[in-house]
Chain A
């Protein structure tokens, strides 16, 4: 038997299979059709990117305080600059901005704490975010306590209102969604029917009709002496709408848990609520998180609809600023700015949800 004790030295890869040229040939120019597509793609890219950069950066005007400071060749970011605080806080009185800033900072801090995996006490942080933070935020933003001057809700607006609508809608929808999802899976026929009708009703109609209903019909449903704030009405509509979608996400998560888990817990003599709270829900919630983040993204985008019933969220305040006679004709700048803000939020959330999906994919999928 022949044993070759020495390994043959590694040879370099054949020429033409490595390096940038090979990459180009492999990924962009393999075959005539692909080459045509590549050239076409490059041309489209050139048509899109060059004028955009020219408009948004090279020819743009950044500093100044009136429309005369803009050459009108490129983008006039002066407009966005001048209106920036309105876009952030709406018509909130400027001497009270610090209150909104504290809420913004706490909000950002909570998000960062929840997102960074290394930080401890996640459970306490969740409780704080769900129970204590809303109270602090309300006291700070609305005022009327501790000598803080009162700021009525019709002055709230801008990004602040967008974030507020989305978070309250989300936090409100979660418990309702859980109850609805459990009800829909229940054995009790009447409970199940109620839940199915409720979920399918809210999912079947456009959000805009719900907001119309909240703003037009809710005052009819309540005693005439009870005057509900317009913001509260929008929040009720958004929360109910969102809870129906949330219920479906949660139901999907519950269905992914093998039935044996529930049966095993029942065999140990656990009651329904113990089985749900200790066995099924903790496992299901893990699977639901990406879905919950996705519905949150759509809720975040859907909050723009409140401008139709007269609230000034980020898009609403941009739209209002565009009709200012001193700044006519800057609609592209305004929309691009608003789109950029929304895009940053939604894109980072969708990336986070993808990251979670990878992280939580522990191979327990059925």
Chain B
């Protein structure tokens, strides 16, 4: 068998379908054409369908009067408000349950995750049971359970469960005393801000002093005292300008105080408990991802156990924990859209539900709703990229 000579004359160009760059270009042009044709097809159909149904597109409906009530609103709202207002109300309610859910889920998740690693056999098993139970049951089912099986079966307002004549729990929700701020109260949040700035300055000063002289102060405790002690001092000095408005039973329902609707409670509980089980696993695997040699090396330097955790393990574990943790936070906010199943007035329920049904502006409403979630996701992933770049190990 002879070897075929495979020598091309100089200046020979392969045909365009063998040229990688040209092939890629042609392929991409075809892709663009297909996508464009698909979009044109969809837009054409949509316009025909909208014309047939007599729906005019555009965002002018946002100025129309909504005409329906909303069970919970953080800012003023009545049925005379506009559809644009319903969007804002829904968004705020989503952010409220999302924010409080993130807070509660983090607290439960970190506690359970650390308990999972406890040397105490029983505690570790209990934490594991918590994780395996709540992680493997659909969130919607858990929301239903808390709402229909627990909160909807509570006693009526007249027989409500009382906790010290100030907090009442019944089928209509949780009633808490409301603080009424008198004049002069504005000083306290102001002191709070000042105290936070002061303690940040203290921490920075301590760091510089530590690097220069090797001496350090117990800044954590000191800033804790400053942040909480200073406002308390001002509060007492100004003569406690707060009165509490207690919820009182009037007729069939409670009046006064703060009312937390059962829909919010159910959603918040279910979201926190469900997401906490994932956070616990993230915390556990983050701590376990730190090689044992790190602990041993720190002990060889005779660092006390408390400092080993605080200076060696936790900073390194956070690098592993934070990326999946943020994606869990994002999941929690997206999952809060399940509110619509029990009627908590979140963005999807109020805007993509009631407003869409009343106006029929499906495209605009769904697009606005999706845009909100996309923007939140985008912001969080931008933060993530920034964080990753900041904490990434610098190697060679």
Contact = CB atoms under 8 A, between A and B. Distances in A.
Interface of A: 27-28, 30, 34, 37-38, 41-42, 44-45, 187-191, 194, 200-201, 203-209, 212-213, 216-217, 219-224, 297, 301-302, 304-305, 307-308, 315, 319, 322, 331-332, 335, 338-339, 342-343, 346-347, 350
B61 interface: no
B387 interface: no
A39 to B, nearest CB: 9
A124 B82 CA distance: 60
26 contacts: A27-B122, A28-B120, A37-B122, A41-B126, A45-B122, A204-B373, A204-B374, A205-B334, A205-B374, A206-B335, A206-B337, A207-B334, A209-B352, A209-B370, A212-B366, A221-B46, A224-B45, A315-B140, A315-B144, A331-B145, A331-B148, A335-B148, A338-B141, A339-B142, A346-B136, A350-B135
A208 B338 contact: yes
A335 B121 CA distance: 31
Contacts of B222: none
8 nearest CB pairs, A to B:
A346-B136, A204-B377, A27-B121, A206-B334, A301-B138, A206-B337, A190-B28, A331-B149
Given A301-B136, A346-B136, 6 more contacts: A38-B123, A188-B27, A208-B338, A209-B352, A221-B42, A331-B144
Contacts of B356: 212, 216
Interface in B349-368: 352, 356, 362-363, 366
A334 B338 CA distance: 20
Interface in B362-389: 362-363, 366, 369-370, 373-374, 377-378
B137 interface: yes
B291 interface: no
A304 B138 contact: yes
A329 to B, nearest CB: 8
B137 A343 contact: yes
Nearest to A44: B126
A342 B119 contact: no
B341 interface: yes
A236 to B, nearest CB: 13
A216 B373 contact: no
Interface in B115-174: 118-123, 126, 132-133, 135-142, 144-145, 148-149, 152-153
A212 B352 contact: yes
Contact of A342 (B50, B136, B378): B136
Contact of B122 (A28, A190, A194, A308): A28
B27 A209 contact: no
Given A191-B28, A305-B140, A342-B136, A220 B149 contact: no
A41 B35 contact: no
A28 B121 contact: yes
B100 interface: no
